[in-house]
A and B are shown apart, each in its own frame.
Chain A
Amino acid sequence: MSAEEKAAAEKPAPARKRAAAAKPAARSKAGAKASTKPAAARTKAPARKARAAKPRGAKSAKPKWDISDLDTWGPDRHELGATIPEAGNSVYNETGGWRTFVPEIDSAKCDGCMLCYFYCPDASIKIEGGKAVGVDLEHCKGCGICAKECPRDAITMKLDEKE
């Protein structure tokens, strides 16, 4: 890592500050119904670390709208008009199953601009220490927007090898 990159990583950009402050707030709202533990953790630790403490996709708590046995539902059990009656419940549901390509992040190249994080339609970019360090594969659809937007070419799309 060059001195310049180090400096960039250590000195958070104003945009990053805003994102770090705004994101956990939104998450706590979504998770508030079912989870109290992460909220407590968030108030003590700096926001950025709290994010890392509870990875996206963790199924530690049950959502109010339990669809765990959805495959057994008949016509009368579904919500009227297919409405999803609860916000933020993608935390509880894996939605990344139809990916063909998967982003591979070279954190050494990352300068912490956060563009991948902002552009990601599924909020699947994991940020640690101000840098993109990985992808939440339970929600990433492999759209490739992050790779397209990254100004430092730190993200490449690789064919997703499925077992």
Chain B
Amino acid sequence: MATIDAHTLAVTGNEAVAEAMRQIDPDVVAAYPITPQTEIVQIFAQFVADGKVDTEFITAESEHSALSAAIGAAAGGARTMTATSSQGFALMWEVLYIAASYRLPLVMTTVNRALSGPINIHCDHSDTMGGRDTGWVQLYGEDHQEAYDNCLQAVRIAEHDDVKLPVMGMLDGYVISGAIGPLQMLTDDQAQAFIGPYRPVHPLLDTKHPVTVGPFDGLHGFYFEHKVSQNRAMDRALGVIQEIADEYAELSGRSYGLVDDYRMDDADIAIVVVGSTAGTTRMVVDQLREGGVKAGMVRVRVFRPFPVKAFVEALKGAKVVGVLDRADSFGAQGGPVFLEVRAALYDSDPRPQVLPFIYGLGGRDIFPDNIEQAFAALQKAAKAKRRTSTERRYLNLRED
């Protein structure tokens, strides 16, 4: 995505996010360090210490506390951000739901890392994929540039009147967070003008209009209605995300869709993938195309809300679709992205075959070879007379 010119910076993914946070200059950041996210809050804490931001930085004693403090700050009326990874994300579990159900427009960067056990610090998506039903909007970035761009857009999405939901922006642990890559930034003024001022709804600190946040639902029970209200906000978020991406494109020259498709126009076989592996997949698609294979790729940018129409449109005409999941859903029919994509294509006519692939768990490398193997399986399925088994296929697994 990133263009390389005299204005291009060489930064780690974490630096890119920290720079976005500096430009946003949130009122409050409450965070707890965890590998591989630590660098984000470490750099940001330095910005606070150096007076480069006016943020109140709360060093919490755990991620549960960090998100709880962030929720309190957001309920108070502050533009609030945090960041986490893996076990920290898991420790936030119950409060993730609280943030979403209170309709607080928090923005959190989650650097994807495997969940224990065995204890593992490397990249996979099991942390945030597990949190896909918490009511947060989920944006999955591919590279350094998108980690930065998504962070700025997340503020606008979360605070939009039609949405008012927390947004988490993801980047792959180490592959992006720790590796150096190119980044083009808006100027500080451009970034501030883009995000605009924050106008909270019913802030607790507006003492002239006292309100109660987080009351008991009562014996009458309106929980059901509130859940439906959350889901309606999710539905509206789809349009808002695209609207804001278009506005951002005019400003930055970098355009984003709900999905990011590559050479899909006449593709017979396609791979759906999340995060940094899209880069490798594009390269393999190009190689296959050179060999006359009509291959394509669709990258998931927005996973919650799930853009069904965008997937159906992008995958139209594909005979076989392989979904590469970097997280598994134990006991389910496949990984979380597979389940969504397969369900989305159920009403397509003709209905393509959708095959589940699991790769990269606990940071297991994914090489071009492995993606070629996946495409080979799709090609074989496309030629087969009978429908192919939808049992999981594992890429770069050591078989016994």
Partner of A82, one of B102, B201, B220, B232: B102
**Known contacts being A71-B220, A75-B229, is A81 close to B211, with CB within 8 Å?**
no
Contact with A along B201-219 (1 / 0, CB 8 A): 1100000011111110101
Partner of A87, one of B212, B225, B228: B212
- Number of contact residues on A: which range applies? 10 to 19
Nearest CB of chain B from residue A147's CB, rounded to whole Å: 23
* Interchain CB contact under 8 A, A85 and B211: yes
Q: Which residues in chain A, 66-82, are within 8 Å of chain B measured between CB atoms? A: 70-71, 73-76, 78-82
Q: What A residues does B226 contact at CB under 8 A?
A: 75, 78, 81-82
* Interchain CB contact under 8 A, B212 and A83: yes
Contact with A along B221-236 (1 / 0, CB 8 A): 0100110110010000
With both beta carbons as reference points, the residue of chain B lying nearest to A82 in the complex is identified as: B226
**Known contacts being A82-B102, A84-B211, is A75 close to B232, with CB within 8 Å?**
yes
* Interchain CB contact under 8 A, A76 and B211: no
Q: What A residues does B102 contact at CB under 8 A?
A: 81-83
Q: Which residues in chain A, 96-122, are within 8 Å of chain B measured between CB atoms? A: 97-98
In the complex, whether B316 has a CB less than 8 A from a CB of chain A is no
- Number of contact residues on B: which range applies? 20 to 34
Q: Chain B binding site: helix, strand, loop or mixed by DSSP?
A: loop
Nearest CB of chain A from residue B377's CB, rounded to whole Å: 44
In the complex, whether A86 has a CB less than 8 A from a CB of chain B is yes
**Known contacts being A71-B220, A83-B202, A85-B202, is A78 close to B229, with CB within 8 Å?**
yes
In the complex, whether B104 has a CB less than 8 A from a CB of chain A is yes
With both beta carbons as reference points, the residue of chain B lying nearest to A67 in the complex is identified as: B220
Besides the known contacts A82-B102, A83-B213, A87-B211, 16 further A-B residue pairs in the complex with CB atoms under 8 A apart: A75-B229, A75-B232, A76-B232, A78-B222, A78-B225, A80-B201, A80-B202, A81-B101, A81-B103, A81-B164, A82-B101, A83-B201, A84-B215, A87-B210, A97-B219, A98-B219
A-B contact pairs, 28 of them (CB 8 A): A70-B222, A71-B220, A73-B225, A74-B225, A75-B225, A75-B228, A75-B232, A76-B229, A76-B232, A78-B226, A79-B202, A80-B103, A80-B201, A81-B101, A81-B103, A81-B226, A82-B102, A82-B214, A82-B222, A83-B102, A83-B201, A83-B211, A83-B212, A84-B211, A84-B212, A85-B202, A85-B211, A86-B210
Interface residues of A (CB under 8 A from B): 70-71, 73-76, 78-87, 97-98
